[in-house]
Amino acid sequence: MNADILIVGQGLAGTMLGWELERAGVKFRLVDAGHARAASRVATGIINPITGRRIVRSWRADTLLPIARESYLALEAELRVPLWQDLRVRRLYVDEEERRMLAEEQARDALSDYARVTDSDGFWIEGAARVDVPALIAAARERWRRGGLLQEERVDVVTARNEHDLVIDCRGAIDGAFGFVRWQYSKGECLTIAIEGLAPNVAFNRGHWMMPLSGGLARVGATHAPSRRDTVLTAEARAALEASVRTMSDRKFAVVDQDAGVRVYVADKKPVAGRHPADARLGVFSGLGGKGALFAPAIARMWAEHLVHGTPFDREVDVARMWRG
């Protein structure tokens, strides 16, 4: 297919879309001016098959996990940058309610593939992973910049549709033509801490995450501030995250850095993709929320299959589900 396709935004969504289009032989260009508030900029990139306070299987985890693994490992080989890390997650109970919910899910055999070992303090999650999202975005950006496919500039998406066959908006926070989608936002703050002695392939979760990095560092986060779209760092978030570290480990630690990003999602917590119901020259890929590393590869592949084979978008993902025009 030789369509003139413009991808706007090179966060995780735009990066994975560009990769899938490149693999499919679909010609495209990207424009990105950078976005200081983007969640991809500070994402820890954890892929977790069991999620939330209710301790349930992540949406379509059995299907999405193999696609994610294949895509990131292929990118790792192509870009020659380490991206994928297999993990075990030590999930510690916050309260008795979580203990009860896990017991109920186990009684229904709903988590047997992933939650296999439990004890009085929590349980172990198998099959998790971490993707180095910032490294992925940086390496892909350099590749496409060198190849003349990426320009660092701002564009008006609606105006750009007059110059391209299709413009796919991957910026995350999307208004304008896709303002009919009831986007929701949540500010999340994270810490980078210096802490020694953590196992390199074990992440902890007790309300917040603690993810070991190399060099005696770890990422901790993220907080959840609904409807907030700023990236102002707060003492309250820092204190909450420091307190969480103390509940997950008795090791000494020091805060090295604090940062913030803004998650974008919709009410059903499923990603949003597809063509504008009233203008087929406009497309969207957004709403990844806190599960972008899991969702993005499969949704990017869905876009590629749509462009190459005309495959319709999954109804649970299609932006048309939001249309009331």
Largest CA distance in the chain: 61
**DSSP output for 4-67:** -EEEE--SHHHHHHHHHHHHHT--EEEE----TTBHHHH---EE-SEETTTTEEPTTHHHHHHH
Over the stretch 99-114, which tens digit does the pLDDT of each residue have? 998 988 888 888 888 9
The chain-wide mean pLDDT, for the chain, equals 93
CA-nearest of 27, 23, 292 to 170 is 292
> Which tens digits make up the pLDDT trace of 62-104?
999 999 999 999 999 999 999 999 999 999 999 999 999 898 8
Residues of the chain where predicted confidence (pLDDT) is lower than 50:
1-2, 36-37
Which DSSP letter does residue 105 get?
H
At residue 38, the pLDDT reads 57
What's residue 115's pLDDT?
87
The pLDDT assigned to 44 comes to 85
Intra-chain end-to-end CA distance of the chain, in Å: 31
Q: Which residues pair with 46 in a beta bridge?
A: 130
DSSP 115-156: EEEE-SSEEEEEEEEEE-HHHHHHHHHHHHHHTT-EE-----
Instruction: Give the per-residue pLDDT at 208.
Output: 95
Report the SS3 class of residue 206.
strand
Half-sphere exposure of 68 (CA within 13 A, CB side): 30
CA distance 308 to 301: 10
Residue 290 near residue 18 (C-beta atoms within 8 A): no
